[in-house]
Amino acid sequence: MTAKEYLNRVRRQNYVVKQAERELTAVRADILTLESASLSEKVSGTRESDLSDKYIKLEKYFDTVISEWNKLIDMRVKAKAMIALLPDETQQAVLYARYINCMEWEQVAADMHYSWKQVFRIHGRALNSFSRIHANFLLRRRDDME
């Protein structure tokens, strides 16, 4: 596994969390809509059991979101510690902004007051540094994936 592949896994996990949260919000909204509809109608007892089933399913969505968040937090803690071992603070800042904070390249360049070209140059050097320092870890990760 390359340094970029490893760090991109952290970045992608952030999107997995965001999608799980969006899905939870949509399901919650659907249940609330069902609940308000059932309150306005007088129908026999099956509505309440249907709503109970929906709340149980909602709880499962919530558990999924929590699980994905926990995974993201663990990944970020590990990646941050690994990035912190880079000797150059500017390289650390670029990797941190891109992979931990999930910033777009334009944002990274603007925040650091560098051109895109300079940010890409720093990023390339940072990835090389990361690969050198964490070669054994990245090699083990690659072997685990095969």
In tens, the pLDDT along 32-49 reads 776 665 555 555 555 556
- The mean predicted confidence, pLDDT, of the chain is 88
Say whether pTM exceeds 0.85.
no
Give residue 35's pLDDT.
61
- CA dist 126 and 98 (Å) reads 12
CA separation (Å) from 111 to 8, 30, 38, 45, 121? 21, 40, 51, 58, 16
Cβ atoms of 136 and 4 closer than 8 Å? no
Give residue 28's pLDDT.
83
- CA dist 141 and 28 (Å) reads 38
Determine whether domain 3-145 maps to CATH 3.40.50: no
Domain ranges of the chain: 3-145
